[in-house]
Structure 1
Amino acid sequence: MTSQKSLDAYVDEVRQLHAALRPAGIPAEPRYPAGLITIPAHVSHWAAERPDLLALALGDSRYTYAELDEIHRRVATWMSQHGVRRGDRVAIYLGNSVEFAIAFLAVLRLGAVHVPVNPMFQPAELAYELLDSEPVLIVTNSALSEVIEACEDRVPEIPVLLTDGTGELSWQSAVAAEPYAGDDGDLDSLAALNYTGGTTGMPKGCQHTQGHMLYTVASAATATEMAYDGDYVSLCYLPIFWIAGEDLGILIPFVLGGTSILMSRWNAGEAVDLIERYRVTLMTGTVENYLELMDTQDLASRDLSSLVDPQAVSFVRKMTPEVRRRWAELVPGSVLRESSYGMTETHTIDCVPYGFAENDFDLLSEPVFCGVPVPGTDIAVVELGTQNPVPLGEVGEIIVRSPSVTDGYWRNEEATREQLVDGWIHTGDNGRIDEQGFLHYLGRRKEMIKVNGMSVFPADVEMLLTQHPAVDSVAVVPTEDPETGQRPVAFVVPREGTDVTAEELTAWARDNMATYKVPLVAVLDALPMTATGKVRKNELAGDAAALNTVQPS
């Protein structure tokens, strides 16, 4: 059996390859623009250095660094007065908004734990996450509070701070408090539970610290030459409850002393206006977003020259040399590239293809080209379920070690032991490191389904459906869909003595699940099983494809 020393030797070899591959001028270790201080302390630092610089904007709501520093301190005081203590969880159940970002900073200043909650969640999903994280406070708005009320029979009463309400439990009251004087957070304590799905069980809370957040920004900024001088401006319409949106819309701009321009949702015309108005330097969107910009907006007549590093994510449509060429013709000097390889467990930015676009080297290499790890991160490819590295060029499981790897899964020791081994996170992804040292992603071993870029895990949908009183067992498999990329298909066996239809289950799913998770449904007498009691999901794949041709979207 290969020894651990073999992995160490492998890592040393790969590090040398990466050092030679990195674009000129990019160091092997990350740079920290304001030092090793907390995320709220960065806002205070820039408030002293750049008080009048725009820090955060969405629509007509705009905050300079001086204003952002003051308002998040006021909200921190209000939270403290209402019982939030160090280590307590605070759920932020909002869409993209300035209140989300301000509450995030307030929670971290108190040394409490940020729990971002998907605003598309419906009662069954919301109840699970609230019961698992046990927050002492929920920050939300009036519309979403109705979903919380629908969970009252399943979840103990939790105080709610309404961003659009009145009275003592309102944002108006919170921002009237005196500014919080201290900073009770640190770089090493639990600071966030970022929930991610899995192939077994319900979503798990990835434990992250402020140190993880800070390293993510510093390493990504160093790897891609982001500006520290106040010129960095990000445009973020990605949901900031996603950890990728958190990075783009909150952490990167505030750590770099730049500007975060948020959008509540994607709109091509608005995006062009904002890029031009605020001199946006970085935007991350799907390939479809960029195609829409090119097809519907007169980009050649607009000044988008500030957008030096536009990044695309290939979900349904893929990045190609043709897409890049069209973009370059319309926005001269702007090179469109794939974003990064990463996962929630590592805070998402582990490996970047930055600097390898010449002659479309990145796009013409064997898919999917991920480039090289960011400074300070190690990536290895090993035999599945082991720490034994495979030779360069061979396929195995990607594992990652970095200062931003999760400390573990919240209250789930079994999952922590399975995926976190000697500081390495086992991703469950197929990949290979080629002879030059570049990482290639070859697909997930996990049974993940991508619906318009949103991750849908079969086990999540299966367990949600089993909450229906008429459901005995269920198996969920993916099927390809020309509109959304993929769709989940649920094969359901009803409980004995019940008579439930696919239409009834679909209606229940729409009431209890986020829209992108709602499956196509088929009702069966029994599921095909192996001799050891496992569902033969491969036998359901053909039926799933046929079902998708006859059922309406």
Structure 2
Amino acid sequence: MDNRRPWLQHYPPEIPKSIDYDEKPLYRFLLESGDRYKEKKALHFMGKEISFGELLVEAKKMAHFFQSKGLKKGDRVASMLPNCPQTVVTYFGAMLAGGVVVQVNPLFTERELKYQLKDSGAKFIVCLDILLPRVSNVRDETDLEHAIVTKVSDYLPFPKNIIYPFIQKKQYNIVVKVEETDDTHIWKNIIESGSEYFTEIDIDPKEDLALLQYTGGTTGKPKGVMLTHYNLVSNVQMCTAWMYKLEENKEIVLGVLPFFHVYGMTTVMNLSIMFGSKMILLPKFDPEQVLKTIQKLKPTLFPGAPTIYIGLLNHPNLKKYDLSSVEACISGSAALPIEVQDQFEKITGGRLVEGYGLTETAPVTHANFIWDKRINGSIGVPWPDTDAMIVKEGTTEELPLGEVGEIAVKGPQVMKGYWNREEDTNKSLKDGWLLTGDMGRMDEDGYFYVVDRKSDMIIAGGFNIYPREVEEVLFEHTEIQEAAVIGVPDPYRGETVKAIIVPKKGQKLDEQQLNRYCRKNLAAYKVPRIYEFRDELPKTIVGKVLKRQLIEESVAELEKDKQVN
């Protein structure tokens, strides 16, 4: 047994410990699938289906357009779109042209958009018509030279394409008329009358960037993570090796995770394009729509986040739907409560396992085995060719087995560095190891456990308290739907533990009841001293709870109380 890598002994024979990765540009997956599966359906979007052959033609037209407008190798192309066919076409079209994709969250405010466009130096942006006013308002303060504007209705089947503009007007109270100019272009015209001819650019997969993916910016300003073609290719090839029971060209993948987040981009979009799988594109998470979609279109693979699975499990009509087509789910973005895993598996008959990764690792580094040994509460073991260890914070000094420290990872999926941020890069990358900023431990079998984000740890009365441990206990309470645990200032303990609770529909909870429950299950110093009840928790688009916002709100509340008293 490899004592440094005890997890390797648990690998089933079907999963290779090492993979011979393709050293090629990521867009080669589309060139190959577009040829091999020309007639097979690649995308399903609100009733409209597009084949791999058609998708490749549109990506080539987009590549031609970018190059005709002066795009040079390495120029950045911003994509500000929800999950829709245009997202996939833009992503691969930009790479075919030699560009670097910059994913932009369509929900961004002007301030957030301006920051990301300025920081990345993007010269092109592709956006929805309803987002154009936001783009126009910041354009003069950025390096943008061209905007390509599309509508959701561009890919809707009849009669949805006729009805949708009226729904959009009612929903967003906005109608944008887009006129073609020298620097504003209409998507439909490019696709309908554009040329497929483009010049293939010489790419060095290990050195050349495919993507600038911005971190969420939970600590300070968002940073552009530089991911090479090789980072993305290796991670998606690890993904297919891990899910060894999936059959090429036969799977249907549910795309509810946003593709502008690296997790959805790799586990849904890149995986499907490489594997010849049909992708079902959903522009947003609507529990009822997801349930209907699973029953009707029968996806076999459903990557998600805990809040997505929780949202489905708590839907009042859940029992009406047949979810038995789902065979495999990898959950990421946040800790997966064991209760949620068990319930979801009972309902689907499939397997739901927790994984782990970061934007900086394209994104996956660890997961539980889907069909083999897994440990509840663990993020699993490192993927092929991925090394990991527990180190003393901020160093590469390995800690003894079982001790809590910072998780460090190394592998072909680890980023090149942060865009224009040498100091941050040097802090995070040491001797090829990425210091994740997550606190965790490894057991003797090589299974890893995330204890918490370094920045989330609560120090109360000299004790280190990891919110995740308290949250796991709260999630086991039958009347709690969601819970978030944070540290708030306390004059005596330095910090104290606060729990923000979303009760299940129709349930009434009180502090005394929860206090008794927590004291039964947690050491006294870990028990929340403050409870707050809410209808919902603030979250990012991929379902990560915005703890920073909860802390700021709680601190403001404490300050207000101080002034009153």
TM-score range, shorter chain: 0.7 to 0.9
Matched residue, 2:539: none
1:352-406 C-alpha deviation (Å, 9 max, x unpaired): 0124776xx622xxx4x11111111111111112211111111111111110111
Structure 2: stretches of 5+ with no match in the other structure: 152-177, 458-466, 469-480, 485-495, 504-543
Tell me if 1:26 matches 2:42.
no
Matched residue, 1:119: 106
Question: Which letter does structure 2 place at the counterpart of 1:206?
Answer: V
Matched residue, 1:76: 63
1:112: Cα distance to partner?
0.8
Matched residue, 1:277: 296
- The verdict on how the C-alpha distance between 1:255 and 1:28 changes in structure 2, with shifts beyond 3 A counting, is same
Question: Counterparts of 1:249 and 1:197 in 2: how far apart (Å)?
Answer: 20
Q: How does 1:160-179 map to 2 (within 5 A)?
A: 160-164=147-151, 165=178, 167=180, 169-175=185-191, 176-179=193-196
CA contact (8 A) 1:212 1:405 kept: yes
Q: CA RMSD in A?
A: 3.5
1:409: Cα distance to partner?
0.6
Instruction: Select 1:180's aligned residue among 177, 181, 197.
Output: 197
CA contact (8 A) 2:122 2:144 kept: no
1:227: Cα distance to partner?
2.5
Work out which structure has the larger RCO, using CA pairs closer than 8 Å and 6 or more positions apart in sequence.
1
Question: Which letter does structure 1 place at the counterpart of 2:180?
Answer: G
| Aligned residue pairs, count | 460
1:180: Cα distance to partner?
3.0
CA contact (8 A) 1:479 1:544 kept: no
Matched residue, 1:352: 367
CA contact (8 A) 1:480 1:545 kept: no
Secondary structure at the aligned position of 1:310 is classed as strand
Matched residue, 2:536: none
Structure 1: stretches of 5+ with no match in the other structure: 1-10, 456-476, 485-514, 522-536
Tell me if 1:13 matches 2:26.
no
Matched residue, 1:435: 444
1:254: Cα distance to partner?
0.7
Question: Counterparts of 2:333 and 2:47 in 1: how far apart (Å)?
Answer: 32
CA contact (8 A) 1:381 1:433 kept: yes
CA contact (8 A) 2:218 2:548 kept: no
Question: Counterparts of 1:411 and 1:73 in 2: how far apart (Å)?
Answer: 30
TM-score, normalised on structure 1?
A: 0.75
- The verdict on how the C-alpha distance between 1:76 and 1:100 changes in structure 2, with shifts beyond 3 A counting, is same
- The verdict on how the C-alpha distance between 1:118 and 1:217 changes in structure 2, with shifts beyond 3 A counting, is same
CA contact (8 A) 2:353 2:367 kept: no
CA contact (8 A) 2:325 2:348 kept: no
**Higher deviation after alignment, 22-31 or 440-449:** 440-449
Secondary structure at the aligned position of 2:328 is classed as coil
1:282: Cα distance to partner?
1.3
Q: How does 1:200-239 map to 2 (within 5 A)?
A: 201-225=220-244, 227-239=246-258
Question: Counterparts of 2:549 and 2:324 in 1: how far apart (Å)?
Answer: 44
- The verdict on how the C-alpha distance between 1:398 and 1:185 changes in structure 2, with shifts beyond 3 A counting, is farther
Question: Counterparts of 2:143 and 2:309 in 1: how far apart (Å)?
Answer: 44
Matched residue, 2:41: 54
Matched residue, 1:105: 92
Question: Which letter does structure 1 place at the counterpart of 2:422?
Answer: E
CA contact (8 A) 1:39 1:255 kept: no
Question: Counterparts of 1:190 and 1:519 in 2: how far apart (Å)?
Answer: 31
CA contact (8 A) 2:41 2:50 kept: yes
1:23: Cα distance to partner?
2.7
Question: Counterparts of 2:64 and 2:380 in 1: how far apart (Å)?
Answer: 44
- The verdict on how the C-alpha distance between 1:329 and 1:70 changes in structure 2, with shifts beyond 3 A counting, is same
Secondary structure at the aligned position of 2:240 is classed as helix
Question: Counterparts of 1:174 and 1:327 in 2: how far apart (Å)?
Answer: 43
1:505-546 C-alpha deviation (Å, 9 max, x unpaired): xxxxxxxxxx9979879xxxxxxxxxxxxxxx9xx9974564
Question: Which letter does structure 2 place at the counterpart of 1:425?
Answer: L
Question: Counterparts of 2:3 and 2:549 in 1: how far apart (Å)?
Answer: 48
Question: Counterparts of 1:289 and 1:402 in 2: how far apart (Å)?
Answer: 29
Question: Which letter does structure 1 place at the counterpart of 2:36?
Answer: E
Question: Counterparts of 2:416 and 2:340 in 1: how far apart (Å)?
Answer: 39
Question: Counterparts of 2:560 and 2:353 in 1: how far apart (Å)?
Answer: 33
Question: Counterparts of 2:198 and 2:363 in 1: how far apart (Å)?
Answer: 32
Q: How does 1:352-391 map to 2 (within 5 A)?
A: 352-355=367-370, 362-363=375-376, 367=377, 369-391=378-400
- The verdict on how the C-alpha distance between 1:92 and 1:541 changes in structure 2, with shifts beyond 3 A counting, is closer
1:423: Cα distance to partner?
1.2
Question: Counterparts of 1:518 and 1:237 in 2: how far apart (Å)?
Answer: 23
Secondary structure at the aligned position of 2:449 is classed as strand
- The verdict on how the C-alpha distance between 1:376 and 1:207 changes in structure 2, with shifts beyond 3 A counting, is same
Instruction: Select 1:268's aligned residue among 287, 291, 294.
Output: 287
Instruction: Select 1:412's aligned residue among 416, 421, 443.
Output: 421
Secondary structure at the aligned position of 1:80 is classed as helix
Question: Which letter does structure 2 place at the counterpart of 1:101?
Answer: V
Secondary structure at the aligned position of 2:78 is classed as strand
1:252: Cα distance to partner?
0.9
1:295: Cα distance to partner?
4.1
Question: Counterparts of 2:372 and 2:501 in 1: how far apart (Å)?
Answer: 29
